[in-house]
Amino acid sequence: MALVAAVALAFNFLLGYGIPGVVAALVLSLGLAFFSYFNSDKVALRISRARPADGPEFARFHNLVEGLCIAGGLPKPRLYVVDDPAPNAFATGRNPKHAALAVTTGLLERMNRVELEGVVAHELSHIKNYDMLVSTVAVVAVGAVVLLSDIGLRMTLFGGGRRSGNDNGGGGGNGITALIGLFALSFIVLAPLFATLMNRAVSRRREFLADASGVQLTRYPPGLVSALEKLRDDPTVVRTAGRATAQLWIESPLDREEGHKGSRLNRMFDTHPPLAERIRVLKEM
């Protein structure tokens, strides 16, 4: 949120709209945040084409979730299924009382009971730790920064903004103003990169936390370890997933051939820590 405020100030300096400009930019960001807070679960489920897990074929799924919710002191989330052969799962919602848990048909087919229990416990831990709220705020902050940066750059480069018309009087003050303006413009250009890196770092840390909390819930680390090993060895990807929802899933649902070859720079942009690293940490528990 501090980054959003800094971008709003830089945006305002370049365009010269004064206090009303800052207020309008922050109101826009808060409006996006409130919309996402109350509608993030609906949007994520719709994007993923999830359907309610109704019917006798999902009885094992319901029973397993109910048992873990009782053990963890959580209300049972709404359960959904995504018709996709790739094994994966995600949780969404603003708090434990308004949460949803979705799994792919591929996950239900390929995981045995202890592996499925490990995956479900991981997702329930996201709900219990309010990770969905953290992720929503992070995603909205990135969106607000990108939006403000894009508008500021377009108006500065093509319209000039008010400030360019107000600084034609000469004098030493104009040199300082121009220097500050150059800094503000550079900051606006780089701000989306900073916001994306911050968002990815938050997401990776929450995955490690959910792994640990999930094992604490099941008291059986080998279950989640085995599930992650199956996810690591499976080459399929979720067809309905995209970059907007990638950080919600238990592992990145994006194409594994998209360039994440393990370099430190590439891993900074990943939404998830490497599965091999997560497996190693769990085996040490």
Catalytic residue numbers read 123
Query: Tokens 């309610």 map to which residue?
Result: 52
Count the alpha carbons within 13 Å of 183 in the hemisphere toward its beta carbon: 9
Q: What does the buried/exposed string (b/e) look like for 101-134 if buried means 16 or more CB atoms within 10 Å of the residue's CB?
A: bbbbbbbbebbeeebbbbbbbbbbbbbbebbbbe
Tell how far CA 217 is from the center of its chain: 23
Question: 3-state class of 240 per DSSP?
Answer: coil
Q: Three-state secondary structure along 88-104?
A: CEEEEECCHHHEEEEEE
- CA–CA separation, 146 and 195 (whole Å): 8
Four-residue CA torsion sign, 72, 205, 145, 2: positive
